[in-house]
Amino acid sequence: MKKVTGFAGAVTLALMLSACSSEDDAAQGNPGSIDDGEQTNEYGSIDHGVTDKGETKGKEDKADDASDDIGFSLDGGSIEEAANVPAEQKKAITEAFNRYIDTLNAGQVDAYLETLSTDSYDLDEERAATEELLATRELTRTPEKLTIVKYSDEEVQVFTTMETAVKDKESGEQSVSEGRQVTVMVNDKDTWKVKAVHYIGDPETK
């Protein structure tokens, strides 16, 4: 079971999930090749900062332990919608989250970058990683059970279950991972944008 917390972008997460799937397969014939929950990948984008508690180092250290800000445990328990979400804001948040998902699924790099908060993401780095990913892979994220679990006028937390499929364009091979995700979004001039992603993968990978 893999945890990612903090400012990991969707592209970084996709690369890590793809690498985890490949390494899990390889580990069947080579026990002990994966180091206590740390997964490495050819891009080196996550493995340098993941601890056995699922915390990430680097950019995330600028936050005050972002994982403590999540309003519930990703490990389980009931998921309940926040009671104070205005109907018009619920619609705006849902539409913004869907843009975040759909633009990357469609390979629309510019539109995807517009869904990210510039206070949390280096858009040049995210663009480079996104273009590198899409050059060789097709990414399809399928969220379900969208629930706004925490709300204020400035920041919200959106829970979804998430299926992430990463397909190699050359070989046609595909890895599919499932998990639970909380996407933290901030109100940036009346537009909701992604600030951080907290993810925990389910034990089984298709």
CB atoms within 10 A of CB 171: 8
Backbone φ and ψ of 23, nearest 5°: -75, -30
CB atoms within 10 A of CB 53: 9
For residue 138, give the CATH number of its domain.
3.10.450.50
CB atoms within 10 A of CB 33: 11
Q: What is the DSSP string of 164-180?
A: EEEEETTT--EEEEEEE
Note down the domain range covering 117.
Answer: 3-74+81-205
The 10s digit of each residue's pLDDT in 3-41 is 655 555 666 666 666 665 555 544 444 332 223 232 323
How many structural domains is the chain composed of? Answer: 1
More confident residue, 89 or 63: 89
The 10s digit of each residue's pLDDT in 65-79 is 434 456 555 555 678
Backbone φ and ψ of 13, nearest 5°: -65, -45
Does pLDDT of 191 surpass 80?
yes
Does pLDDT of 131 surpass 50?
yes
The 10s digit of each residue's pLDDT in 142-189 is 999 999 999 999 999 999 999 999 999 999 999 998 999 999 999 999
The 10s digit of each residue's pLDDT in 79-122 is 889 999 999 999 999 999 999 999 999 999 999 999 999 999 99
What are the structure tokens assigned to 184, written together?
A: 């933290």
